[in-house]
Amino acid sequence: MDTDAILADLAEHWPVYTAIPFIAALIGYITKRVAIEMMFRPLEFVGVRPFLGWQGVLPANAERMAAIATETLTRDLVDPKEIFARLDPEQVVKEIEGPLLEAVDDITREVMEQYQPHVWEALPPNARRMLLARVRAEAPRSITKIMRQVADNIEDVFDLKHMVVTNLARDKALLNSLIRDISRTEMRFIARSGIYFGFALGVVQLFVWALTKEPLVMPAAGFVIGWVTDWLALKMIFLPREPRTFLGVYRWQGVFQKRRHQVAADYGDMIASRIITVPNILETILRGPKSDRLFDMIQREVQRTVDGQAGAVKPVVAFGVGTRRFQDMKRAAAAKAMDRLPETVHHAEDYAVGALDVRNTIVERMRGLGPMQFEALLRPAFRQDEWKLIMVGAVIGGLVGELQVLLMLH
């Protein structure tokens, strides 16, 4: 087709040609939005396994993603021993003193009434009051001692990695929220970039169509638009890691790197409010894979307290229930203490949140990370199955390109 014919065609069909860059921009935007949503949705696999269907990239790789996030968190941001050292055992005891003494009274009565009610009833009132008073007096010292043992041996009773991985892998919506909330700006950038990149490539597409009138050009161009813009947008989130000037005038730094201070604040808020929380920590210590070690600590201390404070009534109790049964009583007291611990310690939660200061610790250390370490917080979420997201964008672009052909031919 000669130049005059091309110009005449452009003049005759200018509305169609004018629409091409805008449709291409729409292709770019749609493919980005679809790619973003496919990262997070659906939470569970929809379709016919193993290949005919889809599950969001993050939910589908929840355990692996949780493990990666935890590795960075525990390696670079949070040291459990340092964090727990901030708790003052004596202040914790003050915070829980009322519930603690109430629990001590209840446990003592329950154990005695369970194992030998007749012996408990036969004890003179003064002897019962003396036993309760001595145990109550010792309880704060025992709790303080146990807390110091826990702080000094935190790795023996608390598995931070297990806690974070378990919570994130179990709650896929929480994992989605962790990544999506801190990368909301990056997601908007990806979607908007599709408009700009798509429009620019659409201009090229316009001239190619004018020159060739080849029906395959539009779907092929749509495929390329979807592929290139998805790939480029994902790269521009993280690269370059440091500000660089392109063509002598255009200065650019990866969006995620540029926002590191705000990302650190958002990440710290999320971790401290929903993952490394006092209830989650307590649940892991009491029910986690190392909970038996805490129980051993409590049992030793309870037995020591009972033996040390029973005093004059100990022979009477041991005689009444038998030596072996007396040991069972002490183990039962330790088990009941474990059961009452969450409810009792709950009263110190406000103090613990402030003392542990998880949020500010994470924020401060995140802001001190190098570019590569900082990138590792979010990059794995995009790297895994990234090609699938790009391919989806390309396929959608090709389909929309085919619609463009139908529009032009009709």
pTM of the model: 0.71
Rounded to 5 degrees, φ, ψ at 245 are: -105, 130
Please determine, for residue 154, whether its predicted confidence score (pLDDT) is greater than 60.
Answer: yes
Model pLDDT, residue 44: 85
Which whole-number Å values give the CA distances from 27 to 21, 165, 228, 359, in the listed order?
10, 38, 12, 41
Instruction: Tell me the C-alpha distance between 51 and 26, whole Å.
Output: 29
Quick one: pLDDT band at residue 42, thresholds 50, 70, 90? Answer: confident
Token pair of 371 as six digits: 């570019």
Rounded to 5 degrees, φ, ψ at 79 are: -110, 110
Chain center to CA of 242: 27
Q: Hey, is 53 helix, strand or coil?
A: strand
Q: Hey, is 374 helix, strand or coil?
A: helix
Q: Other CB atoms closer than 10 Å to residue 129's CB: what's the count?
A: 11
Q: Where are the domains of the chain?
A: 3-71+170-268+378-409, 75-159+278-367
As a whole number, mean pLDDT of residues 379-389 equals 67
Is there a contact between 198 and 29 (Cβ–Cβ < 8 Å)? yes
Is there a contact between 40 and 55 (Cβ–Cβ < 8 Å)? no
Instruction: Tell me the C-alpha distance between 385 and 58, whole Å.
Output: 10
Please determine, for residue 312, whether its predicted confidence score (pLDDT) is greater than 50.
Answer: no
Is there a contact between 229 and 197 (Cβ–Cβ < 8 Å)? yes
* pLDDT digits 0-9 by tens, 282-303: 888 878 888 788 778 777 777 7
* pLDDT digits 0-9 by tens, 96-146: 778 777 777 777 777 766 766 665 666 677 766 776 777 777 777 778 887
> Across 123-127, 369-373, 404-408, which has the greatest mean pLDDT?
369-373
As a whole number, mean pLDDT of residues 205-213 equals 77
